[in-house]
Amino acid sequence: MNFIAWLIIFCEIAFWFVILLGLVTRYILNQQTLGLFFLALTPIIDLILIITTVVDLMNGATAEMPHAIAAVYISISLVFGKSMINWADDRFRYYVMKQGSKPYKLDGLDYSKNYAKSWLKHLLSYIIGTGILHLVVYLINDKSRTEAMDGVIHIWTIVIIIDLIICISYFVWPPKRN
C-alpha cells in the first residue's frame, strides 16, 4: 500500500479522533472554546491530505487509486463534514451526557425528503470530487499516469446513479417505522 493510502487511513482516524476530543472537551471537561478549537481542526486534516497528494503528483508520481480516493475523501469531507460533526454531537450529548432529546429515526415521506437532501449533498461532492479528478488529469496531461482517475470517475458516476434510483424509490415506497 502506498503512502497516500496510509495517509487517507490516518486522516480518517484523525478526523474522528479530533471530533471525539472536541466533544469530550466541550461536554465532559466543560471547555467550550477548546472543544470548538479541536472541532475546527477537521479542515486542517483535509488540508494535509490535499497538500501531500498534490506534492506527490507534482513530483512525478503516477496517479494511482489512492490519489483518486483522496479526491473523493476530500470532496465528501467538505460537503458532509459539518453534518457528520452535528450527527456525532447529537449522539454524544444524548447517549454519553444524557442530555437533550433522543435522536430519532425518520420514516415515511420525512425519510424520503431527508434522503433526497443527502443525495443532493452526494451530488455536490460528486461534482467537486470529479472536478478535482478532471483537473488532475488535465494538469498531468499524460493518460498513462492518470488511468486511475478515469476509473474512479466512472465508478462514482455509476454509484451516484444508483443512489438517485434509491432516492426515487423512497418516494415511491416510503420506508415505514419498524
Tens-digit pLDDT profile for the chain (178 aa)? 789 999 999 999 999 999 999 999 999 999 999 999 999 999 999 999 999 998 998 888 888 999 999 999 999 999 999 999 999 999 999 999 999 999 888 999 999 999 999 999 999 999 999 999 999 999 888 888 889 999 999 999 999 999 999 999 999 999 887 7
Q: Provide the whole-model pTM.
A: 0.88
Angle, helices 3-23 vs 32-39, to 10°: value is: 160
Q: Give the 3-state secondary structure of residue 178.
A: coil
DSSP structure string for 116-131 = HHHHHHHHHHHHHHHH
| CA trace torsion 108, 110, 112, 114 (10° rounding) | -150
Confirm if 106 and 114 have CB atoms less than 8 A apart: yes
Nearby residues of 162 by Cβ (< 8 Å), 6 or more positions away: none
